[in-house]
């Protein structure tokens, strides 16, 4: 392993990683905004589907917490610093705030839209990481994409 200043702790070129780290920080920001939206859906959903949606939203935001941590740890592994302030998340997210949503179908549509945004961003991260020979970052987000594509299918099945 090359121990000079041109590579990071896992042997990847620091110069190649700067763009991957920046994109991962944008993804981290989007995950935080989506997490906040899903918490809002969980807390505020009303109507005939409350008993089915309330626990599904909790399951989703619990998974998002784990993924947020994994993304931040990947940034650290690459030698970067994960964003950690809400003001930074708000600047770098691709996902809009979804405030005061109570209707179950509207909440589910917000989940689908958020997942679609995450998938689009993660595909960009995967391509960028693969180009930089960063298999670890590509594998991480590719696994999320596969899981989230299935979730989109399931939430869309709910919507009919």
* Ramachandran angles phi, psi of 46, nearest 5°: -135, 165
Domain ranges, ordered by start, for the chain: 14-159
As a dihedral over the C-alpha atoms of residue 70, residue 36, residue 142, residue 59, rounded to 10 degrees, the angle is 90
CA–CA separation, 138 and 142 (whole Å): 6
What lies within 8 Å, CB to CB, of 13 at 6+ separation is 6, 7, 132
Give 2-42 pLDDT, tens digit per residue: 445 788 898 888 887 999 999 999 999 999 999 999 999 99
What lies within 8 Å, CB to CB, of 143 at 6+ separation is none
Give 137-148 pLDDT, tens digit per residue: 999 999 999 999
1 has pLDDT over 70: no
What's the mean pLDDT in 101-107? Answer: 97
Percentage above 70 pLDDT, the chain: 98
Domain 14-159 architecture: Up-down Bundle (1.20)
Global pTM reads 0.94
Res 4: pLDDT: 55
């Amino acid at each position: 392993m090359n121990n000079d200043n041109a590579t990071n702790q896992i042997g990847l070129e620091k110069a190649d990683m700067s763009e991957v780290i920046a994109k991962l920080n944008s993804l981290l920001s989007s995950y935080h905004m989506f997490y906040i939206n899903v918490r809002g859906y969980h807390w505020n959903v009303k109507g005939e589907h409350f008993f089915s949606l309330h626990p599904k939203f909790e399951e989703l935001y619990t998974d998002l917490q784990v993924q947020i941590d994994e993304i931040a740890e990947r940034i650290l592994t690459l030698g970067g610093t994960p964003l950690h302030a809400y003001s930074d998340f708000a600047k770098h997210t691709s996902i809009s705030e979804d405030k005061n949503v109570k209707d179950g179908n509207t909440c589910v549509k917000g989940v689908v839209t958020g997942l679609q945004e995450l998938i689009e961003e993660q595909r960009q991260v995967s391509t960028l990481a693969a180009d930089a020979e960063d298999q670890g970052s590509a594998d991480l987000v590719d696994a999320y994409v596969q899981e989230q594509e299935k979730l989109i299918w399931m939430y869309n099945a709910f919507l009919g």
